[in-house]
Structure 1
Amino acid sequence: MPREILFNAFAMNTAGHLSPGQWRNPRDRSGAYNRLRTWTDLAVTLERGLFDGLFIADVIGVYDVYGSGPAGALRNAAQLPINDPMMLVSAMAHVTQHLGFGVTANLTWTSPFLLARAFSTLDHLTEGRIGWNIVTGYLDSGARAHGLNGLIAHDDRYAMAEEYMEVCYKLWEGSWEDGAAVRDPATGVFADPARVHTIKHEGKHYRLDAIHSCEPSPQRTPLLYQAGTSAAGRGFAARHAECVFVSGPNAEVIQRRTQELRAAVAEAGRDPADLKVFSLLTVVVAGTHTEAEDRHAEALRYASPEGSLTLMAGWTGLDLSGYALDQEIRYIEKEGYRTMLENITRADPDRAWTVRDVAEHCAVGAIGPVVVGDAKGAADAVEDWMERTGVDGLNLAYAVLPETFEAIADHLVPELQRRGRYKDAYTSGTMRAKLYGRDRLQAPHPAAGFRAG
């Protein structure tokens, strides 16, 4: 029996997200990212297409490596300006019934107490349709915005994240017992004090003496996403994540990363089936193959090469403005950055890649592959990708907003349904229940060990 394919839409509360320059495209609405109607309309479209979730990326800081300043990001709307993704969720939840929301939140710059309260609030308001994409940050500009000279060392951030998760689990799972909010009008008691517990934590990085502000929400702990594929990131995901987002230039790279993640989950004592892997893909689909090619070509005409290089410079730490556009990548010898650049060039290893080629390759959908075709061709490509990578689902980036997602709902989804590869209707329940058949985390996940009562 073929596996059912999971779909997340991949977006950001900014203009263009992974396709800088598209705000100039008259068919694109991403420039209206700061209008609520943009997001509520998108949510309705995604629910019509039976998308499992909307995965909202975020970044703290600006991409200021390119040209040693923010000018490239500002000129090209390369994830700047950017608004808080949390603020979007309640409105989108109000106009939908089933769509889940995976929201990126940086634990390095937010206290565990406030983050736990925010996600509990959203879990209540969405009736259990919220997930947290756990990140520790990667931009020095974000650290400087918080009074530091630069980022805390990579592995040190993950060590802090381990303790951070413990504090959050204690608040979400251990402060209130189920049924503590008795709501008894006869006695006048709203919450039973004997069933609400103070959390005391004394650790290396965090101290806490408090009760959680929120009564137990449908999921208690939100569905947990993570996106790190470093050794430290894989270890963290193995212990905590329920869904992992991976990206890469080809199926071989994604397959290897997926296998490594599942092996790490098993080594951590969890069932590998309790991890869903989503990979980055952009699908430009239309009624005919020619129409799809025309839409892709149009998106490329509006793409911003400088915007692409601005993003790439932020992701690699290498100021690509200092190299000629026709300089071959293999001659850039600055150690520590070649691996990220090679992550792109592996898409065509026999080609002599230049800086210009990198800019054009990342113009639509960033470093992920792009599928262009009619419904049959796109479905063939998606099925082939799923089989060769072994992933559970796709984080679908857009070329043009909301057109990319409307076309997927109108063309790709019905074709996959005809093939038995995509659901015909939502199941009821929380975001976790839709994926795993249960509302709450269970042992051996560490969160379950902190549950009160």
Structure 2
Amino acid sequence: MTGPRELRFNAFNMTAPSHNWAGLWSHPRDASIDYNTLDYWVDYAKTAERGLLDGIFLADVFGVYDVYSGNADAAALHAVQLPNADPTLLVSAMALVTRHLGFGITSNLTFEHPYQLARTFSTLDHLTKGRIGWNIVTGYLDSGARGMGLPAGRAHDDRYDAAEDLLTAAYKLWEGSWEDDAVRRDRGSRIFTDPAKLHRVLHEGPYFKVDGIHLAEPSPQRTPLLYQAGTSKRGRAFAARHAEAVFLNGQTKPILARAVREIREAAKAYGRDPYDIRLFAGATVIVAPTRAEANDLLEDYARHVDQTGQLALLSGWTGIDFSTYRPDQPIEYVESNAIQSMVENFTVRSDRPVNVSDLARLSRAGARSPFVVGSPQDVADELIAWAEDTDVDGFNLFRLVVPESLNAFVDLVVPELQSRGVYKTAYRDGTLREKLFPGRSPRLHTTHPGAGFRRSADTLRSDAAE
């Protein structure tokens, strides 16, 4: 690789009043109380595209955070990702007002069926002209499972076994059910689709069964760009096999660098180029024209972060009820069905004890990932250093105060990064996959397991013989 690596950024948000920092919806300049309006999202998308960001990455959670004190009262009181709207329904409006911006949509496969999910993402890929990605999550809240009529969620590793099964069925639908030239749209002969070029998918897996033709015609990418956020041992193996982009956290450079190294090494073990996966670290960025002004902003924002709400959020993420901890009590490793990598980062991988009170504040100590405050020059220095020292490809920018935090990044940090030659000055043409991997096809790379479900010439000859 010659020259500096181009940094990549997603705006990281959620269709809820609060996202990663509970309570900021109460800030007088924050617009997140309007999370359930199209104007909020249309304006957000326009800002992200003005800043040449790679995409908007929309988180989602299925269920409520009821680990803290054994109920959802704190989540409801402090809007801890509750209420929470369906992110897939926002994409069309944002796509209409943008031309290049990608959209990473979180969808929990535990409560989906591949036949239905495949159509949803094919539809979104059509409507965005190939700008859609799927953040594959397996779900970790028992409250969501109970809401769906189940006694509890699946065990941690079992969730990934189910994910493997669902993806196998989805690949068959996206990649193999319709031949590239099946759709003719021939008005003269009155033939829309050649039935000889459609293929019935039969899938008999341990978790999912499919018998049918994919309902959607081939979209620009066929398979959406595949995001994943699992960095537990089982999650890393899944990401290394399937993901094209991975979202990870780590509050120190050594923790983050280790996570990056483990994913790239695992990808290589699966026969993939380690750099066929784009790695995004979460980042909290507070920027102002001067360092002093940025520190003032930090103090201003910190006053609105709700500590009880933050602990309710972290209790849900980790499966640990922090209402039972003293503020000065160090967190201890506990294995659970929740986000195992987060607990590991706070405990066995941390270079110092992390106390409960640390996690409840908007601060470097409370962050689970890079926490950057300063002038545009300070922020650029630190982001570049994190990328160089950990080998991440870019950052998911945590939502803070909307719209001013994203506006500040676009207006102040983007020009600084451009002046240093580490950020694009214009979008490339093409699909989301082509933008993230310049020079590539809009389709899955040939080394990706999903590419193995395409219909080759040999497959078509075999079908014809039958």
TM-score, with structure 1 as normaliser:
0.95
**Alpha-carbon shift at residue 240 of structure 1 (Å):** 0.7
Instruction: Identify the residue that residue 255 of structure 1 maps to in structure 2.
Output: 257
Within 5 Å, which residues of 2 pair with 1:37-186? 37-186=39-188
Contiguous gaps of at least 5 residues in structure 2: 457-466
Within 5 Å, which residues of 2 pair with 1:340-419? 340-341=342-343, 343-344=345-346, 349-350=351-352, 353-360=354-361, 366-419=367-420
Alignment check: 8 A CA contact 2:9 2:53 kept? yes
User: Secondary structure of the equivalent of 2:239?
Assistant: helix
Alignment check: 8 A CA contact 2:359 2:367 kept? no
1:439 pairs with 2:442: yes
Question: Residues 307 and 366 from structure 1, CA distance in 2 versus in 1: closer, same or farther, beyond 3 angstroms?
Answer: farther
Instruction: Identify the residue that residue 462 of structure 2 maps to in structure 1.
Output: none
> Partner amino acid for 1:452?
R
In the aligned structure 1, how far is the partner of 2:388 from the partner of 2:140? 32
**Alpha-carbon shift at residue 343 of structure 1 (Å):** 2.2
The 4+ residue runs of structure 1 with deviation greater than 3 A are 332-342, 344-350, 361-366
**Alpha-carbon shift at residue 369 of structure 1 (Å):** 2.7
Q: CA RMSD in A?
A: 1.9
Question: Residues 333 and 160 from structure 1, CA distance in 2 versus in 1: closer, same or farther, beyond 3 angstroms?
Answer: closer
Alignment check: 8 A CA contact 2:333 2:347 kept? no
1:241 pairs with 2:247: no
Identity %: 52
Instruction: Identify the residue that residue 223 of structure 2 maps to in structure 1.
Output: 221
Instruction: Identify the residue that residue 459 of structure 2 maps to in structure 1.
Output: none
The farther-off stretch of 336-345 and 278-287 is 336-345
In the aligned structure 2, how far is the partner of 1:415 from the partner of 1:360? 29
User: Secondary structure of the equivalent of 2:74?
Assistant: helix
Instruction: Identify the residue that residue 448 of structure 1 maps to in structure 2.
Output: 451
In the aligned structure 2, how far is the partner of 1:430 from the partner of 1:334? 42
Alignment check: 8 A CA contact 2:64 2:82 kept? yes
Alignment check: 8 A CA contact 2:67 2:319 kept? yes
Question: Residues 347 and 283 from structure 1, CA distance in 2 versus in 1: closer, same or farther, beyond 3 angstroms?
Answer: farther
**Alpha-carbon shift at residue 300 of structure 1 (Å):** 0.2
**Alpha-carbon shift at residue 452 of structure 1 (Å):** 2.6
Question: Residues 32 and 178 from structure 1, CA distance in 2 versus in 1: closer, same or farther, beyond 3 angstroms?
Answer: same
In the aligned structure 2, how far is the partner of 1:429 from the partner of 1:335? 43
Q: What do residues 182-217 of structure 1 show as CA deviations (whole Å, max 9, x unaligned)?
A: 011111000110011111112222111111111100
> Partner amino acid for 1:375?
P
In the aligned structure 1, how far is the partner of 2:297 from the partner of 2:72? 30
Alignment check: 8 A CA contact 1:300 1:364 kept? no
1:315 pairs with 2:317: yes
Question: Residues 234 and 348 from structure 1, CA distance in 2 versus in 1: closer, same or farther, beyond 3 angstroms?
Answer: closer
Question: Residues 415 and 64 from structure 1, CA distance in 2 versus in 1: closer, same or farther, beyond 3 angstroms?
Answer: same
In the aligned structure 1, how far is the partner of 2:289 from the partner of 2:343? 35
**Alpha-carbon shift at residue 398 of structure 1 (Å):** 2.1
> Partner amino acid for 1:302?
H
In the aligned structure 2, how far is the partner of 1:364 from the partner of 1:17? 18
Alignment check: 8 A CA contact 1:285 1:408 kept? yes
Instruction: Identify the residue that residue 288 of structure 1 maps to in structure 2.
Output: 290
1:268 pairs with 2:278: no
Question: Residues 333 and 8 from structure 1, CA distance in 2 versus in 1: closer, same or farther, beyond 3 angstroms?
Answer: closer
User: Secondary structure of the equivalent of 2:272?
Assistant: coil
The farther-off stretch of 309-318 and 336-345 is 336-345
Instruction: Identify the residue that residue 232 of structure 1 maps to in structure 2.
Output: 234
**Alpha-carbon shift at residue 335 of structure 1 (Å):** 6.4
In the aligned structure 1, how far is the partner of 2:341 from the partner of 2:99? 43
Q: What do residues 27-65 of structure 1 show as CA deviations (whole Å, max 9, x unaligned)?
A: 111111011100000000000000001110000000000
Alignment check: 8 A CA contact 1:238 1:265 kept? yes
> Partner amino acid for 1:188?
R
Alignment check: 8 A CA contact 2:363 2:371 kept? no
In the aligned structure 2, how far is the partner of 1:321 from the partner of 1:176? 53
Question: Residues 410 and 394 from structure 1, CA distance in 2 versus in 1: closer, same or farther, beyond 3 angstroms?
Answer: same
User: Secondary structure of the equivalent of 2:230?
Assistant: coil
Q: What do residues 293-338 of structure 1 show as CA deviations (whole Å, max 9, x unaligned)?
A: 111111101110001100111111111112233x4215x6866699
> Partner amino acid for 1:383?
I
Alignment check: 8 A CA contact 1:308 1:366 kept? no
Contiguous gaps of at least 5 residues in structure 1: none
In the aligned structure 1, how far is the partner of 2:343 from the partner of 2:276? 32
User: Secondary structure of the equivalent of 1:262?
Assistant: helix
